[in-house]
Amino acid sequence: MESCQWGSTPDGGMNRLTLNDDDKRVREWFIAQVKQYGCAVTVDAVGNIFATRPGTNNALPPIGLGSHLDTQPAGGKYDGIVGVLSALEVLKSLHDNNVQTYAPIAVIDWTNEEGARFPPAMLGSGVWAGKFTPEYAYGRTDLKGAKLGDELKRIGFKGEVPASYEANPLSAHYEVHIEQGPVLEAENKPIAVVTGVQAITWFNVELRGREQHCGTTPMDRRADTLLAAAQMIVGINAVALSIPGALASVAVINSTPQSINTLASSVQFNIDARATDDATLARLEAALEQRCREVAAQSGVELRAWDRFWNAKRTVFDERMVGFVRESAAEGGFASRDIQSGAGHDSVYTAARVPTSMIFIRCKGGISHNPAEYSSPEDIAAGAQVLLGAVLKYDAY
């Protein structure tokens, strides 16, 4: 397990942006691992890797155990990675104990879950679920203009199998993940039974004002694009604070022409908007748009793009699958509680096609998307054990 550290950073974190050279190396490592356990490997057209261990009845679609090996640019060693490693532990355990499952089991590394390099997030599982076309995914670009499709080819992970739940089906999907929030730690419990995922929308916003000389243009004769963007960012925060259950964040900004004595003429930024349910998210989105349009009108800066380029509705996981997780945790003697996830996961998209649920494990201080991310070996082992139990329950059923 220590051997999947490509992209480690000196501060204890990871920088393994999807489809970079380190992602290629960890994918190759993953394939070598699963081959030890007698798995057949298929790579689909968007680079999702399926490692399938046969069962008794191989006419059945496999039970998926998936997560992701890509990370944030300054992320941690646990987000996603723990899910894939837990699935590998389940494989190893079945293999070492010569357990024959009824259905085949597929351990999956989904492509571009983070969305950090190629927005939006959960793109690989989204294509598999038919939420995006492969062409849409291929055309996504990173900050330097590289295209996802070209990067897939470059690292040799553009597979032959169609990226589709129809051509390459699963019968169910389980995912272990770190909580990325502070609830389990506060309640001193190692495990959460994930009942669903909150609703998410990402916006791309583009503003156009005027290049003007900072030293000669009176304060009241400006169309200052960066000032307008700043007013919007402050407004976005205020709007989110005013709506219970809502979150809104701006974490990407690009300003042009970046000269100290010339007011910016164009600014691009993104908004990450979330809410516990779809109705609250709709209310949040409307309020954000209204606030930004007000700022634009008052500042003489044009709102050139207000592009709602990604929405993932609130997900409610399959009751039976959630029940299997809850039972498995109880049988393992692990204190647990139900939780709705704040972060998106590949399970959001698999849930659209097959019965899905998730297992969260406690993480330190709720810190995630940060090099300081941490879960203890004991909690990780607990997660893997709950996963194994839940898989066997689904298989028996």
Q: Name the residues that contact ligand URP, by CB under 6 A.
A: 79, 113-115, 121, 180, 213, 215, 261, 343-345
**Closer residue to ligand URP (CB): 296 or 387:** 387
**Closer residue to a copy of itself (CB): 93 or 255:** 255
Strand partners of residue 137 = none
- Per partner kind, with CB cut-offs from 5 to 8 A, the member of a copy of itself, ligand URP, none near residue 130 is none
The dihedral built from the CA positions of residue 389, 392, 396 and 397, taken in this order, carries a sign that is positive
202 binding a copy of itself? (CB under 8 A): yes
Contacting a copy of itself within 5-64 (CB under 8 A): none
Closest CA to 55 of 94, 85, 97, 108: 94
Spatial distance between the Cα atoms of 40 and 25, rounded to a whole number of angstroms: 19
Strand partners of residue 206 = 268, 305
- Per partner kind, with CB cut-offs from 5 to 8 A, the member of a copy of itself, ligand URP, none near residue 227 is a copy of itself
Number of chain residues interacting with a copy of itself (CB under 8 A): 69
Query: Which residues have a Cβ under 8 Å from the Cβ of 156 and sit 6 or more positions away?
Result: 24
Evaluate whether 243 touches 277 at the Cβ level (below 8 Å).
no
Spatial distance between the Cα atoms of 124 and 298, rounded to a whole number of angstroms: 41
Q: Output the smallest distance, CB 214 to a copy of itself, in A.
A: 4
Q: Output the smallest distance, CB 236 to a copy of itself, in A.
A: 9
Q: Output the smallest distance, CB 170 to a copy of itself, in A.
A: 25
Query: Which residues have a Cβ under 8 Å from the Cβ of 348 and sit 6 or more positions away?
Result: 122, 125, 197, 312, 315
CA atoms within a 13 Å half-sphere pointing along the CA-CB vector of 183: 18
**Closer residue to a copy of itself (CB): 206 or 211:** 211
**Interface characters, 114-143, with a copy of itself (x: CB under 8 A):** xxx--x-x---------------------x
- Using DSSP, state whether 121 is helix, strand or coil: coil
**Interface characters, 336-365, with a copy of itself (x: CB under 8 A):** -----xxxx---------------------
Spatial distance between the Cα atoms of 363 and 51, rounded to a whole number of angstroms: 28
239 binding a copy of itself? (CB under 8 A): no
Task: Count Cβ atoms within 10 A of the Cβ of residue 164 and give its class: 0-12 exposed, 13-18 middle, 19 or more buried.
Answer: middle
Q: Output the smallest distance, CB 133 to a copy of itself, in A.
A: 21
Q: Output the smallest distance, CB 334 to a copy of itself, in A.
A: 21
- Provide DSSP, 235-263: HHHHHHHHSTTEEEE---EEEES-BTTB-
CA atoms within a 13 Å half-sphere pointing along the CA-CB vector of 15: 5
**Closer residue to ligand URP (CB): 79 or 395:** 79
Tally of CB atoms within 10 A around 160: 8
Provide the angle, in degrees to the nearest 10, between the axes of the packed helices 21-36 and 81-96. Answer: 20
**Interface characters, 249-268, with a copy of itself (x: CB under 8 A):** xxxxx-xxxxxxxxxxx---
278 binding a copy of itself? (CB under 8 A): no
- Per partner kind, with CB cut-offs from 5 to 8 A, the member of a copy of itself, ligand URP, none near residue 219 is a copy of itself
Q: Output the smallest distance, CB 141 to a copy of itself, in A.
A: 13
As a 3-state breakdown, the chain gives helix, strand, coil percent values, each rounded to 5, of: 35, 25, 40
287 binding a copy of itself? (CB under 8 A): no
- Per partner kind, with CB cut-offs from 5 to 8 A, the member of ligand URP, a copy of itself, none near residue 73 is a copy of itself
The dihedral built from the CA positions of residue 382, 387, 388 and 394, taken in this order, carries a sign that is positive
**Interface characters, 142-171, with a copy of itself (x: CB under 8 A):** -x----------------------------
> Where do contacts with a copy of itself occur on this chain (CB under 8 A)?
72-75, 114-116, 119, 121, 143, 179-182, 198, 200, 202, 210-219, 221, 224, 226-227, 229-231, 233-234, 237, 240-241, 247, 249-253, 255-265, 270, 272, 274, 341-344, 366-371
